[in-house]
Amino acid sequence: MTREEIIAIMAHTYPFLPEAELEKLWLLGEYKRCTNREVIINKGERNSQVFFILKGMVRGYIYTQKGEEKNLFLRPEHTLTGAPDTMFEGVATKYTFEAILETHLFLFRFPQMEQLSNEMLNVAKIYIEGLKENLQTLLFRVESLVYMTPEERYEALLKRSPQFFQTAFNKHIANYLGITPVSLSRIIKRRQEAEKGMDN
């Protein structure tokens, strides 16, 4: 991905950023192209990078005591993410972040981004909007797991983040929803049958 393409995506995502500040972000960051299943941050690392997803998708997961993967994060393009425990506490992360399909990232060091946020109001706005979006996603996850049925969780996620179903594999979506891939297939099948019934 070229410099011009990266800046164009960031300008579209953050239209309030003037050209001079976009240029400073460009100089601060680093472009990375990831292949499918490529690990971006590994469990046990102290990686304080924030990554802006230019294209593709990233999942963040944790291992249970039984060695099973549990998806806590599914992050679509044009969002910011990173290992929160390392960024905010400076500890080795318990999460692994991995690309889903071919994914293009623009990486920033969190301390540098924080410093730039102190100097530039518009960069601070990116930082605050990123925190708000991540918090809203977390609240949605908690609330859906607490009081929604599996089918309601699927419908809510489809409505809130339809891009997940265009990029992520069903096994990752099922894991994120807290159900098995078989259960997800049944939910999708029931929904398709209901839609056909409405058309007839």
Please enumerate in sequence order all residues whose Cβ is within 8 A of that of 114, keeping only pairs 6 or more positions apart, or say none. 127
User: Tens digit of pLDDT per residue, the chain (200 long)?
Assistant: 899 999 999 999 999 999 988 988 899 899 999 999 999 999 999 999 999 999 999 999 999 888 889 999 999 999 999 999 998 899 999 999 999 999 999 999 988 888 888 888 998 999 889 889 888 988 898 898 899 999 999 999 999 988 888 888 899 999 999 999 999 999 999 888 887 766 66
d(CA 76, CA 54): 9
Given this model, what pLDDT does residue 93 score? 95
Given this model, what pLDDT does residue 200 score? 60
Given this model, what pLDDT does residue 15 score? 94
Given this model, what pLDDT does residue 38 score? 97
Given this model, what pLDDT does residue 116 score? 87
Q: Please tell me the pTM assigned to this model.
A: 0.88
Fold of the domain spanning 3-147: Jelly Rolls (2.60.120)
Given this model, what pLDDT does residue 194 score? 81
Given this model, what pLDDT does residue 195 score? 78
